[in-house]
Structure formats: structure tokens, C-alpha cells
Structure 1
Amino acid sequence: MYKEPMFLAPVFKDRIWGGTKLSDRFGYDIPTNTTGECWGISAHPNGPSRIKNGPLKGKTLMEAWDQHRELFSNEKGEQFPLLVKILDANNDLSVQVHPNDEYANSHENGELGKTECWYVIDCEPESELIIGHHGKTKEEFVSMIEKGEWDKLLKKVPIQPGDFYYVPSGTIHAIGKGALILETQQSSDTTYRVYDYDRKDVTGNTRELHLEQSITVTTIPHQDARIEQVVSIEQGLTIKKLVSEQYFTVFHGLLQGTVDQKTDGKYLLYSVLNGKGVITVNQQSYPYKTGDHFVIPSTIDTYELTGNAEFIYSFTS
């Protein structure tokens, strides 16, 4: 039986708003100086991560999901449910909205919806996010879009490192310039673009907008997400539960020393934000470092974490 963590090779995406922080901060070998996204844990067909070690070395996470469901709690469903990214917003991302499962399944060839959440790894002093809108009715929402009243419509919030935001499907949102974000989301690549600052791509064309779909799927009026965060300490590990909702449960961990952990029959997704250490399973040690992404399969009952490190980990709810 498979009894070791699966370390994954990230997939990188060039974006009009990307930069070099994924290399500067995490040491990744990025393909361009406008690399906006690191898909660290992905089984999505648009960018599946490849396993770097163990019996499944060379296979994609998608192949592991399809062929070895016992590693993933024998979870049902055709698609691996989550996708973990790191986003470098060297410039403002477009204002966008994502559909829910029902709409995406019907209109996007069976794609999952996209509920997501953001942990602010770092940001510039003036960085901000767009979360929600001020339209009280659908008519008012549409009117402000048609008039281009973006400053009146969009709800902006200043951010600082360590902030966390839960972004359910149907939420108008955008990541602002200067933010470095870890995103945990449903495994979906469906985005409806509402506004893109009238900027042009490398070919001189403005990017496509999806106003009809956006108006259909946006929650009106906007509803601020309410989450309860809980902090606990286990041996050398300080854990903050960031969110626990329909699709995922996400934690922030700060490790200083050693801690024994249990999977409780779940498979766990880890992304190392800072530091280094060792995972020990059945007396076998596996080193980890800043920028690593790995899966603890559900076939592992207990494991030990040692080191000085900061990470985000999650599992399906």
C-alpha cells in the first residue's frame, strides 16, 4: 500500500498581469517574466501537476486520481475536487465572477463551479482586493455596468499579509496589484470577466468580456461571507482554521519543532509558504522546503512533521 507523501511539480501560467515573484519568493523556474500563476496542486486537464517521487513518479495527479482512488479516501466523483494556486498580481487582475456547480455543469461542458478562498502571503502597502459590489438590485447592478460606474459599483478592501478571504461562487472579485496570494478553490478553470480596465493584450486587442454570463451568475445584492476562525496549538504546531465550508476546509500552520499528525482517513493538500523540515512516515524521512506542494494520501494513518515552517493545508469537506 502507498505509504509516502506525493510531492508535485507545479505548472506555471503566463498572464498579462503576472510578474517574477514566483521565482523571487519561492525559487521556481518560471517560464516568463509575466508568470502569474503557479498551479501547485492540480488535477485539472488545463494544467495537471506531475508526481515527483515514489511508485507513481512521472504520473499526473489526474492519473493517480483515476487509477488509485484508494489514495484519496475512495472519494466519489469523476474530477479531483480541489486546485491550489499561488498568484503573483504584478498588476490588477480583471474584475470577474465564477458560476456555481449547477450553472457550470450545464453551460461549461460539465465543469465544476468555482468557490475559492485567498490567503495573503505578501502584498505592497497600498494593495487591495475587490470583494463584492454595491448594486442593490439586478437593475441597478446592470445599469452601473452599462454606464461604466466601476468606482461606484465595486467594493474595495485594503489588505495586509496574513489576511484571509472566502469567495463563494457568484461573488464579484479581483486581486489587486502587488498581492501574492495562495488560492484554494474548486478544480475549475471557468472565469467570467466583467471588467478589464480597457487594457490590451500583447496582440493589441482588448480581452473578451462575459457580461451576459456574469450578470446571470452574480449574487445580487452582494452578501459578505461569514467565517469563524479558530486557533489551536498542538506540540510545536500553531494551527488556525481559516474556513470550513461545503467544498473545503483550509488551515494555516506555523511549525516550530515537531508534531505528530493524523489523517483521520482524509487526504491532505500541503503548500509550504516558508521554511523547511522533514516529514516522517513509518520511519522514512522526506525533506520539504519553501515552495513545495505535496499530498498526504489517505492510506497514511499518522505522520510526523519536523522543522521551522509556515504552510497552508486543506482537505475536502
Structure 2
Amino acid sequence: MLYPLFFEPVYKEIIWGGRKLEKYFNRNIPDGNIAESWEVSCHKSGMSIIRNGELKGTTLKEVIDSYGEIILGKKYNSFPLLVKLIDANDKLSVQVHPDDDYAKKFENQFGKTEMWYVIDAKENAQLVYGLKSEISKEKFIEAINLNKVEECLNYVNVSKGDVIFIPSGTVHAIMDGLLLAEIQQSSDVTYRLYDWNRVDKEGKRRELHIDKALDVINFNFEGNVLKPEFKSFDGYEIADAIKCPYFEVSIIKVNLSYKSNCNGSFKVYTAVEGEGEVLYNGISYKINCGDSFLMPAELDEYEILGKITLLETKA
């Protein structure tokens, strides 16, 4: 009998990271600029290890190899998602991700469509979300050659609780002062277009991938920052956030109780505020703010209790 699976975080030190994952989630994290915590991953660049129950110490891949359909359901043979927490103490590079066809051809990986949920934000926080409407491929190439990329970028204001959908081909960058949850395809392919002319400790600039980025940019993209609208039920509120071919995400604010079941498809929950517990088969599993856990596809009814806000992801 399987159960709710919790995982050890996989931390990534990157030049733009900080220490907010430590402070906000009361965690012990490695020294340095910790930018990302991979919370649920079956990717070779950061494999999740189960931290609870009989399967403690086992990798997610090993569990899927052993249990297959019991974990994932009938739709998938491999885990299709990657869930992260992101601390942008400084701004990220301006970047774009390819779609599946391009990524499989040139990178032997899946493409990357993703979404962000704003957990915390400084006052007047911003994101780069696409290019200005008048920017064509030819104008953008000219701007790159003249080092005027910043003049082409579309900036949007964001605040706590906002949702941003980033389909493949979208030029984007997280700016400083943001703490995000990211849900994406299981991919680690990023094409950097511009890195704000910054250098590392050795005076070197990070690699850019201009040619590939220009191949995959959607110059006709138009998107809006989403403000989820909640419906109230007995014990909880729920808002539909994102529905796309790769994942469906709802935001659930539990103020007393939320009951659900997997019905043959796995679910991933990410706690973005508060704390609580998940009850399954007579056993209680503590949920701390920042925790992500996977409910295997075979599980029947479970209940989440407490005062806690979660992202519920289905694939």
C-alpha cells in the first residue's frame, strides 16, 4: 500500500539566488546564493529522494520503475513534471524555452512550458513577460547587435498570489525581490538571450544561446498576469489557475478540510502558505509551508486539514 510521498529538496546555487528559502520556509540550506529548490523531480539534473515512510531514501525514479502505473496512472511511463521553489534575490537572465519538437531534435529532452505562482514579492515587483508588441524578429536581432535588448522587453507588475503562464517560446525573466513556485515540464533546457551585462566572481559572462533562442521565440505572444478567482465551499476555497496540455493547476485555500482522491491519476501538492496535515488510510502526514508531496495514482480518498494554501497539480 503506497502513501503520500514527501521529498528531500535538491538545492541549486546560481548567481542570482539568495537566502530567502532559508528564512521564509525555516529550512537549513547550503551556503551560497541558493536560487532554486527542486521539490519534486525525476530529472537527471536533480533527482528527488523520498524522505518519509517505508520508501525513505529511495529515488523517485526507482519508485516509478518498481511501481509504474500504481504511481503515475495509465497516461505516463515517466514522471512528466518538475516542481521548484525559486528565490530571485537578483534578476534572472532574459531567456526562452523551446517546445517539445525543437528540444527533442537538438537537446534530446522535452521542451519547457511552465507557470509561476507568486508566493512573496517586494513592493512594485516586476517580471519580463514577452516582448513589446512592435518588436519583430528583425528589430530584435538589431537590438541584440546594438546591446539594446532591454528596450525591447515587456515588463509587468506582480504581487503575492498572482499566476503567470509561460508557454514555450515566451521571452521571460524573473526580476529581483520575488519568491515563486514553478511548475513545469520535466526539462532543463534554457536559452539565454541577455544577462544584464553582469559577470561572475572571475569576471566572466555567462554563456548566451542567441541562435537557438531566435529559432524558438514566439514574436506574437501576448499574455496577462492572472488574478485567480476563488469559489467557496464548506471547509475550503478553490480557484482554477492554469489548464494546458502539460498540466492543470488549481489553488486551494483550506480553512478547515478538503477531501479528494486520485481516481487513477497522480497529483502533486505544493504548500505555499500556512501548515496542515494530509490524512490517508488512518495516518497523518504533517505539511509544512514549502513542502511538496505526491499522491500516487492508486490512492483513494484522502483529507487535507489545517489552515493552508496549496497548489494542486494534475498532469
Map of 2:72 onto structure 1: 72
Map of 1:120 onto structure 2: 118
Map of 2:49 onto structure 1: 50
> Which amino acid is 1:283 matched to?
G
Q: In structure 2, the residue corresponding to 1:75 is in which secondary structure?
A: coil
TM-superposed CA distance for 1:241, in Å, is 1.0
> Which amino acid is 1:76 matched to?
Y
TM-superposed CA distance for 1:71, in Å, is 1.2
Q: In structure 2, the residue corresponding to 1:190 is in which secondary structure?
A: coil
Equivalent residue pairs, number: 313
Aligned equivalents of 2:271 and 2:253: distance in 1? 10
In structure 1, stretches of 5+ residues that fail to align are none
Does 2:129 match 1:131?
yes
TM-superposed CA distance for 1:227, in Å, is 7.2
Map of 1:36 onto structure 2: 35
- Classify 1:280/1:185 alpha carbon distance in 2 versus 1 (closer, same or farther; 3 Å): same
Aligned equivalents of 2:226 and 2:119: distance in 1? 19
Map of 1:171 onto structure 2: 170
Map of 1:89 onto structure 2: 88
Aligned equivalents of 2:299 and 2:223: distance in 1? 38
Map of 1:12 onto structure 2: 11
TM-superposed CA distance for 1:260, in Å, is 1.8
Q: Tell me if structure 1 keeps the 8 A contact 2:91–2:173.
A: yes
Q: Tell me if structure 2 keeps the 8 A contact 1:136–1:221.
A: no
Q: Tell me if structure 2 keeps the 8 A contact 1:167–1:225.
A: no
Map of 1:266 onto structure 2: 265
Aligned equivalents of 2:274 and 2:206: distance in 1? 38
Aligned equivalents of 1:199 and 1:226: distance in 2? 28
Aligned equivalents of 1:228 and 1:91: distance in 2? 25
TM-score by length of 1: 0.94
Does 2:25 match 1:26?
yes
TM-superposed CA distance for 1:215, in Å, is 0.3
Aligned equivalents of 2:122 and 2:197: distance in 1? 24
Does 2:153 match 1:147?
no
Q: How do 1:188-227 and structure 2 match up within 5 A?
A: 188-224=187-223
TM-superposed CA distance for 1:192, in Å, is 0.3
Aligned equivalents of 2:228 and 2:299: distance in 1? 27
Aligned equivalents of 1:59 and 1:260: distance in 2? 28
Q: Tell me if structure 1 keeps the 8 A contact 2:163–2:226.
A: no
TM-superposed CA distance for 1:246, in Å, is 0.7
> Which amino acid is 1:197 matched to?
W
% identical equivalent positions? 38
Aligned equivalents of 2:308 and 2:298: distance in 1? 24
- Classify 1:240/1:296 alpha carbon distance in 2 versus 1 (closer, same or farther; 3 Å): same
TM-superposed CA distance for 1:152, in Å, is 2.3
In structure 2, stretches of 5+ residues that fail to align are none
Q: Tell me if structure 2 keeps the 8 A contact 1:97–1:170.
A: yes
TM-superposed CA distance for 1:264, in Å, is 2.4
Map of 1:289 onto structure 2: 288
Aligned equivalents of 2:185 and 2:131: distance in 1? 23
Deviations 1:132-165 (A, max 9, x none): 0125432122112222222321000111111110
Aligned equivalents of 2:37 and 2:153: distance in 1? 27
Q: In structure 2, the residue corresponding to 1:42 is in which secondary structure?
A: strand
Q: Tell me if structure 2 keeps the 8 A contact 1:196–1:207.
A: yes
Aligned equivalents of 1:307 and 1:47: distance in 2? 31
> Which amino acid is 2:290 matched to?
G
- Classify 1:220/1:47 alpha carbon distance in 2 versus 1 (closer, same or farther; 3 Å): same
After TM superposition, what 4+ stretches of structure 1 lie above 6 angstroms from structure 2?
Answer: 225-228
Q: Tell me if structure 2 keeps the 8 A contact 1:234–1:259.
A: no
Aligned equivalents of 1:8 and 1:295: distance in 2? 9
